[in-house]
């Protein structure tokens, strides 16, 4: 896939996922029955079409309607094409404007595109203005940052500039570099092969660990390997452990790419096969509600009961 096509597909997929609640609200105004009664593929394609109409300026509305109808014919047959065509034409003729009361539950869940149970949970704990800010943050597109390994941030910036990749320090206190929106992460990693994608907040874990030179570090929930690799500059040995074999392949790939000799172990952190380590790092599995901007799909997969289950798992691990 060409870079331009990859960028288009990424924006369409993640944008539609991020604003799913808002898109459903726009569609609901033009569908006579409940959206839950629609066939899954048809509803997903309606969301994709609606996102292109209202949020992708590079796509003319007529083209979004036509392309969506064509795809519905492929995925669901000819029968729903007339329905999809009529709905999307009405969506295109409508305007996408936020409700007057964005601080209402309806505004925060529909236009704000978050599950109702999650918004209600936040409202029971925080001021409505803070909840609105949180919702707006989750619907923004976070910048991409990389962490150079084995060189200073200044040296890495020079290398990136030589390769035509624009970046800047992510923060005065962080060694991470923030890529400008037009810079490709693929190009950045090509220019700095000994680096990893990592935002400043994640990097703080490695910095706060303050690992002494020559120590043995065990990272018990290592995948995809960013924190273990960030610690590898100072530690004598880094043992990266995770119970998921597929996720450990990601750790292995990142270690090979950055030429870091991590010791990889597939095991459950609740039944450790380790004898001893100077430093044990546990970035315990969590609900991910603090990273919904970067992982917008999480808000739709997470269930209310999952919070207690995850807390219990964390308690057993710690």
Domains and CATH numbers, the chain: 3-93 (1.10.940.10), 105-138 (no CATH), 142-208 (3.30.70)
- pLDDT (tens digit, 9 = 90+) per residue, 26-84? 999 999 999 999 999 999 999 999 999 999 999 999 999 999 999 999 999 999 999 99
For strand 145-148 and strand 279-281, is the pairing parallel, antiparallel, or unpaired? Answer: unpaired
Instruction: Count the alpha carbons within 13 Å of 85 in the hemisphere toward its beta carbon.
Output: 9
- pLDDT (tens digit, 9 = 90+) per residue, 279-302? 999 888 889 999 999 999 999 999
Q: How confident is the model at residue 183 (pLDDT cuts 50, 70, 90)?
A: confident
pLDDT attached to residue 301: 95
- pLDDT (tens digit, 9 = 90+) per residue, 238-251? 999 999 999 999 99
Nearest Cα residue to 20 out of 56, 47, 59:
47
Contacts of 20 (CB under 8 A, 6+ apart): 47, 113, 300
pLDDT attached to residue 205: 86
- pLDDT (tens digit, 9 = 90+) per residue, 137-182? 999 999 999 999 989 999 999 999 999 999 999 999 999 999 998 8
User: Quick check: helix, strand or coil at residue 87?
Assistant: helix
| Residue 173 tokens, joined | 């206190």
For strand 177-179 and strand 145-148, is the pairing parallel, antiparallel, or unpaired? Answer: antiparallel
pLDDT attached to residue 293: 95
Nearest Cα residue to 113 out of 14, 31, 253:
14
pLDDT attached to residue 247: 92
């Amino acid at each position: 896939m060409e870079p331009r096509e990859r960028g288009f597909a990424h924006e369409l997929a993640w944008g539609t996922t991020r604003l799913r609640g808002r898109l459903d609200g726009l569609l609901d105004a033009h569908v006579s029955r409940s959206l839950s009664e629609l066939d899954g593929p048809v509803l997903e394609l309606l969301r994709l079409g609606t996102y292109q109409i209202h949020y992708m300026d590079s796509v003319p509305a007529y083209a979004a309607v036509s392309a969506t109808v064509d795809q519905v014919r492929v995925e669901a047959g000819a029968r729903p094409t007339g329905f999809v065509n009529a709905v999307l034409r009405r969506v295109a003729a409508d305007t996408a404007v936020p409700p007057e009361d964005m601080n209402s539950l309806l505004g925060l869940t529909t236009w704000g595109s978050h599950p109702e149970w999650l918004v209600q949970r936040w409202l029971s704990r925080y001021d409505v203005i803070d909840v609105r800010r949180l919702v707006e943050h989750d619907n923004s597109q976070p910048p991409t940052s990389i962490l150079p390994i084995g060189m200073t941030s200044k040296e890495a910036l020079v290398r990136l500039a030589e390769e035509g990749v624009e970046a800047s320090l992510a923060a005065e206190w962080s060694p991470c570099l923030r890529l400008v929106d037009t810079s490709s992460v693929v190009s950045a990693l090509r220019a700095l092969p000994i680096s990893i994608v990592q935002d400043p907040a994640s990097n703080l874990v490695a910095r706060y660990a303050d690992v002494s030179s020559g120590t043995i570090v065990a990272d018990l929930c290592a995948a995809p390997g960013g924190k273990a690799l960030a610690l590898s500059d100072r530690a004598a040995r880094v043992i990266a452990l995770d119970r998921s074999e597929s996720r450990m392949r990601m750790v292995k790939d990142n270690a090979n790419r950055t030429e870091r000799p991590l010791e990889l172990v597939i095991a459950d952190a609740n039944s450790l096969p380790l004898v001893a380590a100077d430093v044990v790092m546990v970035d315990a599995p969590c609900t991910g509600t603090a990273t919904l901007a970067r992982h917008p799909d999480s808000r739709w997969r997470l269930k209310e009961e999952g919070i207690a289950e995850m807390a219990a798992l964390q308690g057993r691990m710690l």
